[in-house]
């Protein structure tokens, strides 16, 4: 079984990734992306040297004899969609939503049953194939994911939950792509949960495109807890038309090395995004997270809030980029990047960047990297708490500004539980 640290242009990879009886337009998209891969540069993540990571260590072998363990079946309870690697475990859209025209299915089914709709938006708005080598890889080798479409003027009150599990019980490629399309004036909430089953060293490529059409409002939450042997590239993008809004709340709680790219393009006038990220790095883990908002539309508004915690000998870099394009009169761009160090051997960076090409705007940023407040720690320990417990409480309070804004109680509790696990397991690794 061949695995390499650099992508070998073996056509078997392309053949194994393809869905059965793919339409011609998708075959063309794959082939064009495949041809461009060698000519495109890897994306830049400032202060993160990730080029030796095995992000392109794909296997040429097909996946055989996949079974779904009871643990995954149990985890799928409460989710409307669940997948294990390339296998769809569950699709359960309520009848009343289907009657309103809502579509939820795996990406392979979508390209056959809703081909025209998928073709209109896949790699057309939020992400483009030729942005860099990794976006081209996702287009060429995507082998799983989900498709969600909410029609014009439809409001979905209950959150739509997606569980997408990387199957690392054997060597298997995980190139996952989720496409979410919000019709005009639609409103809904989505939770995406990504995790790993097994301990085989496999890369994970996770991409999400949200196309928010005029007047729509999407609340998107993500909880990532990929395994220690997984090197991951995560790319979540939003395209916002006039008066559209996307609120992002993302928890990067993986155990392996991660680079992540979270972007929102405020194309329409009056469009608005709130981008909130929580990240915890432990042991010798390295994570680099770029979050960018680009204001194209007049009176558009984009706010970035990033908070991270480091333990052990880990590294975490936040790069926040606010970009206002000429002509975006009345635009607003604010960001806050803060990192809390719980270990003297960890390395944290918070880098705010403002790129402004218009006068009539409001923009600002704040950034800090610091150690735990000793007065808070002393106070808690004076009340009988151990140092480890006191540190976890202070850390929870530090992240509270993001946690309190999560709109769904179940999601909030899941994120708190994952944070507690990371903090507990990360202590004592210095």
Q: Give the model confidence (pLDDT) of 408-424 as tens digits.
A: 787 788 888 888 888 88
Low-confidence ranges of the chain (pLDDT < 50): 1-5, 429
Q: What is the pLDDT of residue 427?
A: 60
Q: Is 252 a member of any domain?
A: yes
Picking from 422, 54, 6, the residue whose alpha carbon sits closest to that of residue 251 is 422
Q: Is 57 a member of any domain?
A: yes
How far, in Å, CA of 98 to CA of 92, rounded?
10
Q: Is 175 a member of any domain?
A: yes
**Quick one: 276 exposed, middle or buried, by C-beta within 10 A (0-12, 13-18, 19+)?**
buried
Picking from 262, 266, 287, 264, the residue whose alpha carbon sits closest to that of residue 277 is 262
Q: What is the pLDDT of residue 4?
A: 37
Q: What is the pLDDT of residue 303?
A: 96
Q: Is 169 a member of any domain?
A: yes
Q: What is the pLDDT of residue 194?
A: 97
| Domain coverage including residue 30 | 11-268
Q: Is 342 a member of any domain?
A: no
Q: Is 357 a member of any domain?
A: no
Question: What is the pairing mode between strands 286-295 and 315-324?
Answer: parallel
Q: Is 195 a member of any domain?
A: yes
- Cβ pair 171, 66 in contact under 8 A: no
Q: Is 322 a member of any domain?
A: no
Task: Provide the domain count of the chain.
Answer: 1
């Amino acid at each position: 079984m061949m695995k390499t640290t650099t992508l070998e242009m073996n056509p078997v990879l392309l053949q194994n990734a393809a869905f059965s009886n793919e339409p011609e337009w998708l075959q063309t998209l794959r082939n064009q992306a495949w041809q461009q891969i060698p000519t495109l540069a890897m994306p830049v993540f400032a202060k993160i040297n990730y080029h030796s990571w095995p992000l392109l260590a794909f296997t040429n072998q097909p996946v055989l004899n996949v079974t779904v363990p009871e643990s995954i079946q149990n985890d799928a309870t409460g989710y409307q969609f669940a997948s294990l690697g390339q296998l769809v475990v569950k699709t359960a859209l309520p009848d009343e939503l289907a009657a309103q025209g809502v579509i939820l299915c795996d990406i392979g089914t979508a390209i056959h049953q809703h081909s025209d709709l998928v073709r209109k938006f896949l790699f057309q708005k939020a992400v483009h194939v030729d942005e860099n080598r990794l976006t081209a890889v996702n287009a060429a080798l995507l082998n799983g994911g989900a498709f969600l479409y909410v029609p014009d003027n439809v409001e979905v009150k209950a959150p739509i939950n997606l569980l997408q599990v990387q199957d690392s019980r054997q060597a298997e490629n995980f190139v996952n792509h989720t496409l979410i399309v919000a019709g005009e004036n639609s409103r809904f909430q989505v939770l995406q949960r990504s995790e790993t089953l097994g301990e085989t060293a496999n890369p994970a490529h996770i991409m999400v495109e949200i196309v928010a059409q005029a007047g729509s409002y999407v609340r998107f939450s993500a909880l990532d807890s990929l395994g220690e042997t997984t090197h991951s590239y995560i790319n979540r993008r939003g395209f916002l038309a006039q008066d559209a809004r996307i609120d992002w709340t993302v928890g990067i709680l993986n155990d392996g090395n991660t680079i992540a790219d979270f972007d929102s393009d405020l194309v329409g006038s009056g469009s608005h995004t709130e981008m909130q990220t929580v990240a915890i790095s432990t042991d010798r883990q390295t994570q680099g997270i770029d979050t960018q908002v680009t204001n194209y539309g007049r009176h558009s508004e984009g706010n970035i809030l990033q908070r991270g915690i480091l333990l052990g000998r880990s590294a975490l870099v936040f790069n926040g980029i606010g970009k206002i394009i000429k002509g975006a009169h009345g635009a607003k761009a604010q960001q806050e990047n803060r990192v809390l160090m719980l270990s003297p051997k960890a390395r944290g960076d918070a880098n705010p960047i403002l790129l402004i090409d218009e006068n009539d705007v409001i923009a600002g940023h704040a950034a800090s990297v610091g150690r735990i407040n000793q007065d808070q720690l002393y106070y808690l320990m004076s009340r009988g708490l151990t140092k480890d417990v006191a540190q976890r409480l202070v850390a929870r309070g530090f992240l509270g500004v993001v946690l309190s804004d999560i709109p769904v109680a179940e999601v909030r509790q899941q994120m708190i539980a994952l944070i507690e696990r990371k903090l507990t397991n990360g202590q004592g690794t210095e």
